[in-house]
Amino acid sequence: MLYMKDIDLNNKKVFIRLDFNVPIKGNEITSSERIDRSIPTIQLAIKKNAKIILASHLGRPKEGTYNKKYSLFPVYQYLKKKLPKINIIFCKDYFDNPIQIKSKQIIVLENVRFNIGETKNNITLSKKYADLCDIFIMDAFATAHRIESSTYGICDFVKTACMGPLLHSEIKILKKILYQPLRPMVTIVGGAKVSTKFQLLHSLLKITDTMLVGGGIANTFLSTRYSIGKSLHEKNFQKQAKKMLETKKISLPIDSRVKITDTVNSNPKIKSVSMIESNEEILDIGDQTIQKYKKIIKKAKTILWNGPLGVFELPNFRTGTAKIASYIANSSSFSIAGGGDTIAVIDLLNLKEKISYISTGGGAFLEFIEKQTLPIINRLNQF
């Protein structure tokens, strides 16, 4: 596979697909993590004397309709502050006029999802992107699992396409986890539904030594043994859950923080998982479970974490996730965290500097663990 660092970019127009899909309130970027992680790629292109075109999506706007809420203009303004010595231009109507650009200049394109056909991998649109450049550089890990015009289709019409350094580092770290983890390896999986992470759980059980579960996922496993009241779970996956429990690798909660469902913002009641009543709902793991999980985390050499262990959005049911997150952060093991909700937890608890590696991807992170590859990796291998 071709890598950006090995290609001559001198005086070449390079179309770099990055991930600037960041949270914006008003005109303020509330988390710049994904932009900051892209800066080294941009600086490498500058060093290599390239003519730089940056492209990204933001949110899920209606295709063909401009919506200021989803404009990348605030990202452009942020980049100008981060790279004050570089001439950076914002371009809204980039298909209407030929892009004039000099070496070491940067053009930031408006949100690619404003273009009709972007998410459908439209052939005409893919060719239009290719016509803007000499070389395509894919460096948006968070969208690497999507077959779209600016992430995949463009490859059908450019002479040269390669992998950028951020995408390369994400893949390298995940391969280390999948193929050469230090043992024991502990995976921590939370979230609402087993159905959305069934393949992930199945794949992880092949490589992990112990799996700690929380949230609705844990509830589905618990429901195969106990009555869990009105707690969120998936009856259709009980059979598969039982099969997974036979591996003896899954460590289940032994107590939970519950709320009585006919009360609003109720204080948590900690109960054994075998004592949940019909009008109660599990929303977090309990103190005994926290201590049980703490002991397992303490012995780990590798930790992979995806998803909160309860309804983290409710302060009264945040304890379990917060405690487990702090144990991961203070562990001497190699820790990797991925997924949007997981990153939100890390940001809220200010633990970013204490996690060994935070993946910028959510869906791509999960899909790579499941399949050990992504569509764009296979496509880039053809160049």
**For each of the chain's 383 residues, which pLDDT tens digit applies?**
899 999 999 999 999 999 999 989 888 998 888 999 999 999 999 999 999 999 999 999 999 999 999 999 999 999 999 999 999 999 999 998 878 899 999 999 999 999 999 999 999 999 999 999 999 999 999 999 999 999 999 999 999 999 999 999 999 999 988 888 999 999 999 988 777 788 889 889 999 999 999 999 999 999 999 999 999 899 999 999 999 999 999 999 999 999 876 665 678 899 999 999 998 999 999 999 999 999 999 999 999 999 999 999 889 999 999 999 999 999 999 999 988 788 889 988 999 999 999 988 878 888 888 888 999 999 999 99
pLDDT at 365: 86
> Does 341 count as an annotated binding residue?
yes
> Does 146 count as an annotated binding residue?
yes
pLDDT at 25: 87
pLDDT at 317: 93
Going by DSSP bridges, is the β-strand pair 280-285/255-260 parallel, antiparallel, or unpaired? Answer: antiparallel
Helix (H, G, I), strand (E, B) or coil at 239: helix
> Does 167 count as an annotated binding residue?
no
> Does 339 count as an annotated binding residue?
yes
Query: Active-site residue numbers?
Result: 34, 193, 340, 363
pLDDT at 264: 57
pLDDT at 99: 85
pLDDT at 261: 63
Q: What is the DSSP letter of 61?
A: P
367 vs 215: CA distance, rounded Å: 20
Q: What is the DSSP letter of 37?
A: H
The whole-model pTM stands at 0.85
Residue 286 to residues 174, 215, 252, 315, 328: CA-CA distances in angstroms? 31, 12, 11, 15, 17
> Does 220 count as an annotated binding residue?
no
Going by DSSP bridges, is the β-strand pair 106-109/88-91 parallel, antiparallel, or unpaired? Answer: parallel
> Does 60 count as an annotated binding residue?
yes
Alpha helices in the chain (DSSP H): 33-47, 73-82, 123-131, 165-179, 198-207, 215-222, 238-245, 287-299, 319-329, 340-348, 363-371, 375-380
Domains of the chain: residue spans and CATH: 4-164 (3.40.50.1260), 181-371 (3.40.50.1260)
> Does 20 count as an annotated binding residue?
yes
Tokens 């950028």 label which residue? 164
> Does 59 count as an annotated binding residue?
yes
Cβ(128)–Cβ(93) under 8 Å? no
Letter string b/e over residues 217-239, b meaning 16 or more CB atoms within 10 A of that residue's CB: bbbbbbbbebebbbbbbbeebee
